[in-house]
Amino acid sequence: MQLRVQGVPVPKCGELPLRLLALLALQGPFSREEAADLLWNGTTRQALQSLRTALSTLRAALHAAPEVLEGTGAILSVNRQFLRVDALEKPSQAELLHWWRGPLLAGRACRGTDRWMEWRQATETQLLEDHLAALFRAAAQAEAGRAEAFVCRAGELSRTYGGLSMTPTLGGEERAELLGRAQELAALRCARQSVHVQGPRGSGRSSLVRAAFPEAIWFRPDALNGRPDPVWAAHAVDAGRAVFDDVEDLPDWVWPLVHYLEGRGCRVILISTGPLPPQWHDLPVVRVGPVETETLVRLAATLAPAWSAAELPALMMLTAGLPGRAVRLLRAGGATLTALLRVRLAQFGEDALRLLWVSEDSPAAEVDRLCLQCGLDREALRGAVTALTDAGLWVDGRAVHPLVSEVAGELLPWWTRQTLPPIAPSLERAR
């Protein structure tokens, strides 16, 4: 960090006056007491005296620009019309690759109050995260060659300044699914009552709840033998929070259990794809939907660094913007998107592959025809649809990316010849 007045560096401003200026420029305004206690140890009276000395030094350094520093009363601030802070500016795409020159407050870590060190760390972290987001946003919008450069630069900065990471310390996949979810995570953590988390499967909604409430007890219907378990309920009451996932699929006797837990002071978190029953409509709702393209680009660059950046923006179309689907797709591995899809499709059972091949419309509208043509029973058909949807390859009744059909086109004729010889020729002609 360097102070310049009319383009000329100020050589002898002093460490603490510069810290005060950074504080006001990057966050301010501050009350005199807040600024003094953050920057100086000792009693408030001693800190205020040190603040007055620093202000005098700063005003002397800014003698050619007296309008920058404001605050003759209890509140201190700077006039941003007369002060340029390059770390807060938004560079153009042409400037992005060379914009970041290291933490703004580098070299300012020596000897400071605990509050100053915490503020400095949080501020540097936010500045880096904003710059990384800009790089991934540019990669999502740029042509192939430029996209590769933006992703590489973001990876270089992440490795160099990894200590500034804002990502929560969770397991790999859960941590990845939380990218771009800062607002939803904050909303959950601020909840002072039971809450409804609504979003499609694959949106990372369960990972979000685990990050917000790691102490919560999760409902496990397969462990309850079709009836409420008093031991489980007691654990939930002791923990103070209980989570019910996929509430649409839960038996009716669960709802009295939810009422019982609420009556005992236990806050419940209800996770669903759609709306809750009418008696629960008064719960606050945290909606979890698609993330921005740059978030998926960042996710792919983290989990599949060998990918070409030119293929990364296709993830938005392929996964409908849902990070959970992207994580499941990316964990299959593969140097390219085509190779990855080939690996993922090979993991499916033949029912799912046949379904992808013959269905040209919504599976729900063609259940009878598909069961007849493919020799599938209804349970197998539902399993195939679920497998494809959970993988992010099937949305709203159809394949969501041309590469899915391209890869499946090589595998499915072989599958159909092995299992349904009579209809294989017609299927291949349909291609």
Banded pLDDT at 176 (limits 50, 70, 90): low
Instruction: Give the pLDDT of residue 213.
Output: 93
Average pLDDT over residues 92-110: 76
CA atoms within 13 A on the CB side of 59: 11
For the ranges 275-279, 354-358, 411-415, the lowest mean pLDDT is seen at 411-415
Predicted confidence (pLDDT) per residue in 242-274, tens digit: 999 999 888 888 899 999 999 999 999 999 998
pLDDT higher than threshold 80 for residue 3: no
Q: Which CATH class is domain 181-287?
A: alpha beta
Banded pLDDT at 14 (limits 50, 70, 90): confident
CA distance 314 to 321: 10
Instruction: Give the pLDDT of residue 262.
Output: 92
Average pLDDT over residues 205-215: 91
The full 3-state SS of the chain, as one line of letters, equals CCCEECCEECCCCCHHHHHHHHHHHHCCCEEHHHHHHHHCCCCHHHHHHHHHHHHHHHHHHCCCCCCCEECCCCEEEECCCCCCCHHHCCCCHHHHCCCCCCCCCCCCCCCCCHHHHHHHHHHHHHHHHHHHHHHHHHHHHCCHHHHHHHHHHHHHHHHHCHHHCCCCCCCHHHHHHCCCCHHHHHHHHCCCCCEEEECCCCCCHHHHHHHHCCCCEECCHHHCCCCCCHHHHHHHHHHCEEEECCHHHCCCCHHHHHHHHHHCCCEEEEEECCCCCHHHCCCCEEECCCCCHHHHHHHHHHHCCCCCHHHCCHHHHHHCCCHHHHHHHHCCCCCCHHHHHHHHHHCCCHHHHHHHHHCCCCHHHHHHHHHHHHCCCHHHHHHHHHHHHHCCCEECCEECCHHHHHHHHHHHHHHHHHHCHHHHHHHHHHC
pLDDT higher than threshold 60 for residue 131: yes
Banded pLDDT at 423 (limits 50, 70, 90): very low
Q: Does domain 4-84 have CATH number 1.10.10?
A: yes
For the ranges 7-21, 154-168, 235-249, 410-424, the lowest mean pLDDT is seen at 410-424
CA distance 179 to 168: 9
Banded pLDDT at 300 (limits 50, 70, 90): confident
Neighbours of 84 (CB within 10 A): 10
Predicted confidence (pLDDT) per residue in 349-364, tens digit: 666 666 665 565 555 5
For the ranges 19-33, 84-98, 198-212, 217-231, the lowest mean pLDDT is seen at 217-231
Average pLDDT over residues 182-206: 89
Instruction: Give the pLDDT of residue 399.
Output: 62
Q: What is the pLDDT of the chain when averaged over all its residues? A: 76
pTM: 0.62
Average pLDDT over residues 278-304: 86
Instruction: Give the pLDDT of residue 284.
Output: 92
Give the residue extent of every domain in the chain. 4-84, 89-164, 181-287, 332-430
pLDDT higher than threshold 70 for residue 96: yes
Instruction: Give the pLDDT of residue 428.
Output: 38
